Amino acid sequence: MILHRPPAVNDTARPVPRWASRLAHALPLLLLPSCLWRLPFALHFEMGQVGQPAMPPHWISVPYVLTLSVLTELVALLTLGLVRGWGEVAPSWIPLIGGKPVRPLAAALPALLGGLALTAFFSSIPLGGDRHLTVHGIVESVGYSATAWEILAIVCVAPTAAWGPITIVLALAYWRRRHSETARAGTY
């Protein structure tokens, strides 16, 4: 029995590896639990955390947390451009560049730098217990009123550590696919 597999992505000049397409489409879903975890904090619900500094007033915390969650998802959705046709030819509705080819370096370099920044930002080294040494050398400590809250926090927030490495891998796959295409055509 032969299984028919649909093409990975058919709106690109060269085929996108199936793994890259799946990874890019999974990234916004991977970050969604962290965005949802954040929302109760906007309304000053501590989600079982103890000993945290007081939240700012609602008129600041609600827009801040909502904006942070929406921006997180929008940036994650931008990685789809690394596996879709609109990452090769700018959509026609974009002023000045609409309908023009996207140079591989113009998409791959920001994605790579963003992935490196995200990796650094979301990386921390466990020191034991509730303490973590962040990239900035700061020891952070978060306490929880119950183990269930701590487990829920880990399940929701831990996947954000994969955001940077996934973006880096997708940027490199995009560069590899597009660079060989433009090298043959003689344009960069």
Kindly write down the DSSP assignment for every residue of 102-156, as one continuous string: PPHHHHHHHHHHHHHHHHHHT-EEEEETTEEEETTS-EEE-EESSHHHHHHHHHH
CA 32, 33, 34: angle at the middle one, nearest 5?
90
pLDDT at 10: 62
At residue 129, the pLDDT reads 56
Task: Assess contact for 79 and 114: CB atoms under 8 A.
Answer: no
Q: What is the pLDDT of residue 138?
A: 46
pTM, two decimals, is 0.81
In whole angstroms, give the CA distance from residue 38 to residue 36: 5
The pLDDT of residue 187? 53
In tens digits, what is the pLDDT along the chain, a chain of 188 residues?
555 444 444 688 889 999 999 999 999 999 999 999 999 988 888 888 887 777 788 888 899 999 999 999 999 999 999 999 999 999 999 899 999 999 999 999 999 999 999 998 887 655 455 555 454 444 456 777 888 988 888 888 889 989 999 999 999 999 999 987 655 665 55
pLDDT of residue 4: 46
* pLDDT for res 126: 52
Residue 131 confidence (pLDDT): 58
Q: Write the DSSP symbol of residue 46.
A: -
